[in-house]
Amino acid sequence: MVKVGFVGLGRLGLPVAVAMDWKGHDVLGYDINPVYKSSAKIQDVFTSKEAGPDGTGTIQPLLDTSKVKFADSLGEVVEHSDLIFVAIQTPHDPMYEGITRLPPSRVDFSYKWLVEGMTQLSAALDKSDKPQSIVAIISTVLPTTLRKFVFPHLSAKIKLCYNPFFIAMGTVVRDFLDPEFILLGAVDKEAGDTVTAFYKTMTDARVCVTALENAELVKVSYNTFIGMKVAYANLVMEMCDKLPNTNCDEVMKCICLANRRLISPAYLTGGMGDGGGCHPRDNIALSWLCRTLGISYDFYESIMVCREKQTEFLADLICHHVQVSGKPLMILGKSFKPETDLMTGSPAILLRNILEERRMSVQMYDPYVDVHVEPPLQKPHVFFIGCKHDVFKKYEFPQGSRVIDPHRYIPQAPGIHVFHVGGENKASGEGLEEVANWGGE
């Protein structure tokens, strides 16, 4: 059993603290937000039905038996802990979150809270009788950030490593306990060895130890690679929607078989744009870094422009169906991830904002966000499926409705018109009528 301190108990920190406790460690958590200083409030973070350790069910059984304790000060964390994890936010302004059009300006993440937190943790350690503390920083940062902004405030007693996680909101516990690999930015060898030994008590995953700046770049490069895959899959979807006798899912199913030269099939399903609190904002932050370093081509801007243009393509489809049918629009789904209420970076919100630019009247409904509101199924609409919530498959849409489904999972039903974007029943019709003369005689 390791005595663990966990600083930062948000949607990432608290699930991980609970997972460590579940694996038999003695966990003491701390957050400056008083909501996270009481065990009575521990379940408030999990309104999005956080999945259990195997990725199914919920985390509720772990919460019911959790022995995670909560500190009132960083001093308590220092005195308690053999190993301290720091999961303090490094936010981006909402204009760089991916729910609005890509702004012309670029900025780095804000490191205010991380710097303040590490400064206060250092002060607490300097006041204690402990000769040293091993600290692992989890927070997402751009390369060179820790050395430039955090190191000047560190206590000489801190032995540091950088240990960012590769997790997805809604499956934090599963992703933490069963990661693809564990990343450690080597700052102090003893710290790295201690963190490696700690992980061996919970998982058999490979540990990748590299230089600090390498680890900082690996984290954001991993996130932005996902955005690139999503944009690629959505490009295929758009092409399939305009070509006859093509189906996005069939094309991508074949592409996903190429697991030697390409890569895993994850994030290669056509649908909505990439979302969440990491991927869009990391692309924009790396776009800022490209500009700052004078990189020859800003590839990350291209990913975000592609995401925006693909959302405009969906907006065009919606406008066409609203105009043809004369029915009002309802976007079903506000969150970026199915079966959650997580709206940070939601491509559905971006779609709404683009439609409102065009002076369209847009209504939205999400059963996980609007929990006390009845589904808007009283009269025919043009329904657009903005998030792939499973419950939408069970809806009895009003007769005469049109349903535009970029995920291609809503079943056909009598009396309604379901349009699968990029599928057999294409949202833009059957595509080009004549292809015989392509390429000449």
* pTM attached to this predicted model: 0.78
Question: CA separation (Å) from 340 to 18, 171, 217?
Answer: 19, 10, 29
344-380 pLDDT tens trace = 889 999 999 999 999 999 999 999 999 999 999 999 9
For the chain, give the percent of residues with pLDDT over 70: 92
- Residue 15's nearest CA partner among 51, 39, 41, 40 is 51
Confidence of residue 41 (pLDDT cuts 50, 70, 90): low
Do 221-420 and 3-204 have the same topology in CATH? yes
Q: What is the pLDDT of residue 438?
A: 35
Q: Which helix (H) or strand (E) holds 329?
A: strand 329-332
Q: For tokens 């043009």, what's the residue?
A: 382
**φ and ψ at residue 398, rounded to 5 degrees:** -60, 145
**φ and ψ at residue 335, rounded to 5 degrees:** -75, 160
Is-contact 236 210, C-beta < 8 A? no
Whether 177 has a pLDDT exceeding 90, the answer reads yes
Chain centroid offset of residue 350 CA? 15
What average pLDDT does this structure show over 366-395? Answer: 94
Domain map (residue ranges) of the chain: 3-204, 221-420
Question: Between 242 and 213, whose confidence is greater?
Answer: 213
147-175 pLDDT tens trace = 999 999 999 999 999 999 998 888 899 99
Whether 421 has a pLDDT exceeding 90, the answer reads yes
* Number of DSSP helices (H) and strands (E) in the chain, helices first: 12, 13
Q: What is the pLDDT of residue 40?
A: 53
Q: What is the pLDDT of residue 87?
A: 95
Q: What is the pLDDT of residue 429?
A: 65
Both structure tokens of 187: 């700052």
Q: What is the pLDDT of residue 434?
A: 34
What's the CA gap between 299 and 189, in Å, rounded?
35
Confidence of residue 207 (pLDDT cuts 50, 70, 90): very high
Least confident of 210-214, 244-248, 308-312, 430-434: 430-434
Please count the residues of the chain.
441
Q: What is the pLDDT of residue 285?
A: 82
Is-contact 111 141, C-beta < 8 A? yes
Count how many Cα atoms sit within 13 Å of the Cα of residue 334 in the half-sphere of its side chain.
16
Q: What is the pLDDT of residue 432?
A: 38
Q: Which CATH architecture has domain 221-420?
A: 3-Layer(aba) Sandwich (3.40)
- Residue 295's nearest CA partner among 303, 286, 304 is 286
Q: Which CATH architecture has domain 3-204?
A: 3-Layer(aba) Sandwich (3.40)
CA dihedral of residues 238, 244, 245, 249 (deg, nearest 10): 10
Mean pLDDT of the chain: 87
Confidence of residue 388 (pLDDT cuts 50, 70, 90): very high
266-312 pLDDT tens trace = 766 767 766 766 777 787 887 888 888 888 878 888 888 888 999 99
Confidence of residue 408 (pLDDT cuts 50, 70, 90): very high
Determine how many CB atoms are found less than 10 A away from the CB of residue 110.
Answer: 13
Whether 314 has a pLDDT exceeding 50, the answer reads yes
Whether 30 has a pLDDT exceeding 70, the answer reads yes
Confidence of residue 38 (pLDDT cuts 50, 70, 90): low
Q: For tokens 């039905």, what's the residue?
A: 49
Q: What is the pLDDT of residue 48?
A: 47
Question: CA separation (Å) from 396 to 110, 249, 371, 403, 415?
Answer: 45, 25, 19, 11, 10
Q: Are strands 382-385 and 417-420 parallel, antiparallel or unpaired?
A: unpaired
7-22 pLDDT tens trace = 999 888 988 999 999 9
Q: Where are the alpha helices (DSSP H) in 23-167?
A: 60-65, 74-80, 112-127, 145
Least confident of 38-52, 129-143, 191-205, 223-237: 38-52
